[in-house]
Structure formats: structure tokens, C-alpha cells
Structure 1
Amino acid sequence: MTNNCSFEGVDQLMTYLELVFYIPIFIFGLILNVVALFVFCVILRKWAESTIYMTSLALMDLLLLFPLPFKIHATNHRWPANLYPLCSVLEILYFVGIYGSIYTIMCIAVDRWVAICHPFKAKQLRSPRAALGACMGVWMLVLAVISPTIYRFREAGQADFHCFHQFSENGWSPSVIISLQIFGFLLPALVVVKCSVQTIWALKKSGKQSPKSQACVKIIYSSLSAFLLPFTPSHLAILLQFLVHQGVIEDCENKIRISLFIQTAMCLSNITCCLDALCYYFIAHEVRSTKHNFRLPMISQRRATFSTSEV
């Protein structure tokens, strides 16, 4: 892929940029997600649908955060060949955290859409047990798909290597990248955007701008931001780097720009661990502020919609 292009300047710049990005993300993300788990599991202790999804999302974020110190070390140091298995495990945890978060946010958007836009069906479709089943399904799906795929990205050899970098050509094959773009991002993104837009429209159409309704809108916007802001640039960068590997983009300057873009975008995608805290804040605030049965905004709005339909 490199031909006569030199990427030394990009690599040197990223050694500093990764420290600037990863250290604050790791510190704040770790604190925010540990606090979120403490709030949901110890303080609230109410396993409604939203708290179950948020707990699973916090665990996904922690799974993503765990490999970051190793990722920082691997950027500046080559690892010996006998650490190939450890590197593969860390890469699996990292990508399970990313795509587990994507699918968990999608489940949250669908659950909220059912609760608000289809209040009659919500009684049959929504329950803490169903939410727990959906979260367990997401965990099993991403582990089953990503683990064997990522493990094949590394070809065992005798040479030292940079973990989280220099994937083999198997990792850039059309089948892998196309599946990643469609099922890893585009399909969940379409579901999240469609459900979020329809839910916001239903809330505004109801004409009742109660505090709980406004809080629900804030939750929707925060979830949408936590999804689109980190993951859209990173998957665009992956697509461009795929075109480089396929020989579609051959200009050296464009290759260098794309190399900088994909590494920067992948760094910024980890900010999802902090953006998810917006969702945690609104959920926890609304649960604590509800005096009767800890009704969440989406449940309250569902009942409001139900009663309105009878008038």
C-alpha cells in the first residue's frame, strides 16, 4: 500500500495526538462509567427497561476503555512476536466494545420508539426481561462475529509488530469491510435515526411539552449525538482506507491525508464513552425525580399517549 509514500510524519504526529485524546478519554470515561454503574446498580436499584440498557452500555464502554493503555503503549513500542495472542484479545475487546455500543444504542432507540409511537403494543413488547434478553443477544452477537474475524487479522510470525496497527490484508478484504460498513454502521444508523426522528415528531405532535416530555427529547438528542458524532467519521475513514488498499486511490498525498484521517477518527470514536454519560445523566435524573414507581420518561409518555387516544 505504501509504495514510495512515507508515513513517518503521520506516525510521529499520532504518537502525540493519541496521548492528547486517549488519556482524558480514559480518565473521564472510566470515572463516568463506574459512577453510572454505581448509580444504576446501587442507588436506583430499579431494573426498568432503560436502566438495563444503560447498564449494558456502561459495561460496553468499560470494555472499550480497558485496551486504551495498551493501545497507547503499542503506538510507541513494537511488541515481540510472542504477544500476538494478547494483542488479538485486546483488539477483540476493543472492537466488541465499539460495535456492542452501536447495537445497544440501536436497541435503546427502538425501545423508546415502541414505547412512545406504539403505546398499545408496548405493553406486550416491552418489559425488563425483554430488555435483558436484547442486551444479552447483543453481547453474544458481537462476540460471535467479531472474535473470529479480528483473530484472523493477525498473521503469526517472528517479527516484532505494532498492536492495533498493521492489520493483514485479510482485514481489508471486500467481504469484511462491506459487511462492517453495512451491518456494523449503516443499518444501525438508519434504525437509530429513523426511530429518533419519529419519536421526536410524536412527542412534538402530542402538543404536551411537559417536563418529562422535554426530558425525553433531551435523552433522544443525547443518544443520537453519542451515536453519530463518534462513529460517522471513523467509518467514513475506514471506507477511504479500504479504497486505498483496493488501489482505487493511488495519489501519495491523498494516501497520507487518509492515513492521518483514519487514525484521528479512530481516536475520536472513543469519545463515545464520555458522550454516553449524557444519556446516563438524563436517565438517572428522571428516575430519581419520579416519585411513583420510578416511571421513566418513555413510560410516562406512553401512558399519556394512551390516555390521549381515548379522548
Structure 2
Amino acid sequence: MTNISGECNFTSIDRLAETLRFGISIPTFILGLVLNTLALSVFCCFWKKQTKTSIYMINLALADVLLLLSLPLKLHYSVAEAPGLLCAFIQSLYFVNTYGSIFIIVCITVDRYICLKHPFEGRANQSPRWAILICCFIWAVTWLCSSPIYVFQKKDSLKCFHNMSDEAWSVPLIVSVEIFGFLIPLSVMVFCSAQNIWILLNHKNRAKEKADSLRVIIINLVVFLVCFTPVHLAICLQCLVRQHVIVDCRLKQTISLFIQLSMILANLNCCLDAIFYYFAAKEFREKTHLKKIIERCPVFKPCAT
């Protein structure tokens, strides 16, 4: 993203994106921070016994909190210039927690699939030790993979998330991000979710229990698709712009607006995860007052338990 590229002017696009970014990101920051802080307190203090699921949810809430804490810096330095090293840190913090969330959500889905497909083995293997090791591995890998941001970031003062060097938009790097950061996790999510739905529909358990489980699976998949699909499509299109495959000015302006809006949409995942916590974790429902709020909301009233 640049303000001016040749004869193509992006000033009005950036101004519109800035207005929307502030209008959506500030409520997202406040609501998301409250909900995820509440979730962390419930999972850490009130969960009767730590399990694999609770460990994954603690790490997902932690990733959401860290991403939310980076939002004020992102908002400020997207309109004001900052040293290149500071920009690199803000950008790496943002992307680490985004992809950390993606991989942890995938782990929760796979764990649920194992428990449904192999119920006896799944229930017997609920020790949090493996979940802790997996989460540590995810954090280590995402931080390691964010290191190119420090290399590719221009050294002079600039606006963060703008004017990344051409190396950052190289085809091999973007293809790697798309495949390993989104397409593989998406494939696993879709496969495991479809299998989970099929198993539940053919399982002779109580109707209410089946409905609750189906609701959790569908909410988790929909949130993943809505929050992360647009931003990865936008990254792919922006790469084509930076590689001069797309040269039409109006199309470049549309893509510039799209990538900025899709990043705003991805941030909403931090708030939507709370809906997943509510339906997936009994302790979260019992220790919070969200049930009363959801019961009064017409959208969720048929789903309230």
C-alpha cells in the first residue's frame, strides 16, 4: 500500500480506510479486551481441572489480547511515521498473534474431531501436557516466521503497514504465507468440521447435546471463514499489484481499500471468539453473565442454553 504510485492516487482511499479503521477498531479494542480478559480469568481461575481444551482456549484468548493491545499502536502509526524497527515490531506482534490464533483454532477443531472419532482414546488423553507443548511450538514457529518482517522493513521513518519493501511481496514468500498460513489450516478446518458434523448427525445421543455440539462446530468454522478468508485473498491480490500483474489504476485502488478493510474484519475475530467460548465451555457460561445478554439478543435467543 502506498499513497501515490505513478499517476494513481491513493489519498482518498487511505482517508476512507482510516475513517473506517478508527470507527470499527476502537469498539473492537474495548469489547474484545473486556471479553478476552474475562475469558482468561474464567479459564485460569474457575476451570475445575485444566484440560487440553482449556489450555488451547487460554492461549487463544492470550493471542487475542496481545493482538488487541497492538491495535492502538497500529492505529497511531498507520497515520503517523515511526522508526523502521518500531514498525517491524508492531507488524510482527500483529501477524504473530493473527497466525497464532489461526493455528490454535485449528488445534481445537482437530482435538474435537479426535474426541468424536475415537471417543475412548480422546477422553483418556485429556492431559494438558501435549496441549502446552503444541501451543509452545505454535508460538515459537510464528515468532520465527515473523523474523523476515525485520529484514524487509525499510529502515527510515514511515507509516506502519505501508510501504513494505518489494522483498516482502515476493512471490515465494506470499505463496508460503497463503499455503502454510491459510490454505492448509483451512483444509484441516473444513475436513474436521465436516467429519464432526457427519459423526454427530449419525450419533444416537440426546438431541440437545447434539444441537449444542453442532452449534459450536458451525460457529467456529463460520468465524474462521469470515475473519480470515478476505484478508488472505486481499494479500494475494496485493501481491499481483506489487508484481505489476495488475496495473489498472481503479483496480489497484479497489484492492488497496479491500486489503485495509479485510484487516479490520480479521480483527473482529478477537470479539467473535467470545461467542465460541460461550457455547464451547460450560465454565465460561456459568461464571459470566453473557447468558443473560445472549438470551435478550434476538439473534442468539433461539441458541441460548
TM over 0.5: yes
Is residue 2:211 matched to residue 1:211?
A: no
Q: Deviations over 1:52-72 (max 9, x none)?
A: 111010001111111110111
What does 1:13-52 correspond to in 2, within 5 Å? 13-52=16-55
Stretches of 4+ aligned residues off by more than 4 angstroms: 123-126, 286-289
Q: Secondary structure at the match of 2:281?
A: helix
Equivalent position to 1:169, from 166, 169, 189: 166
Amino acid at match of 1:201: W
The match for 2:148 is 149
The match for 1:86 is 86
Amino acid at match of 2:165: S
Amino acid at match of 1:232: T
Equivalent position to 2:243, from 241, 246, 263: 246
Is residue 2:61 matched to residue 1:58?
A: yes
Unmatched 5+ stretches in structure 1: 290-311
Amino acid at match of 1:216: S
The answer to whether the 8 Å contact 1:78/1:161 transfers is yes
Q: Secondary structure at the match of 1:34?
A: helix
Partner Cα distance (2:243, 2:77) in 1: 26
Q: TM-score, normalised by structure 2?
A: 0.88
Q: Report 1 or 2 for greater relative contact order, CA contacts < 8 Å, sequence distance ≥ 6.
A: 1
Q: Structure 1 residue 124: deviation in Å?
A: 6.2
Partner Cα distance (2:210, 2:37) in 1: 28
CA distance 1:285–1:270, shift in 2 (3 Å): same
The match for 1:228 is 225
Partner Cα distance (1:222, 1:145) in 2: 29
The match for 2:301 is none
The match for 1:103 is 103
The answer to whether the 8 Å contact 1:226/1:275 transfers is yes
Q: Structure 1 residue 126: deviation in Å?
A: 4.5
Amino acid at match of 2:95: F
Question: How many residues are aligned here?
Answer: 283
Q: Structure 1 residue 209: deviation in Å?
A: 3.8
Q: Structure 1 residue 175: deviation in Å?
A: 1.3
CA distance 1:205–1:286, shift in 2 (3 Å): farther
Amino acid at match of 1:72: L
The answer to whether the 8 Å contact 1:40/1:46 transfers is no
The answer to whether the 8 Å contact 2:47/2:283 transfers is no
Q: TM-score, normalised by structure 1?
A: 0.86
Is residue 2:12 matched to residue 1:9?
A: yes
Q: Structure 1 residue 211: deviation in Å?
A: 2.6
Amino acid at match of 2:100: G
Amino acid at match of 1:116: L
Partner Cα distance (2:64, 2:192) in 1: 23
Q: Structure 1 residue 44: deviation in Å?
A: 2.1
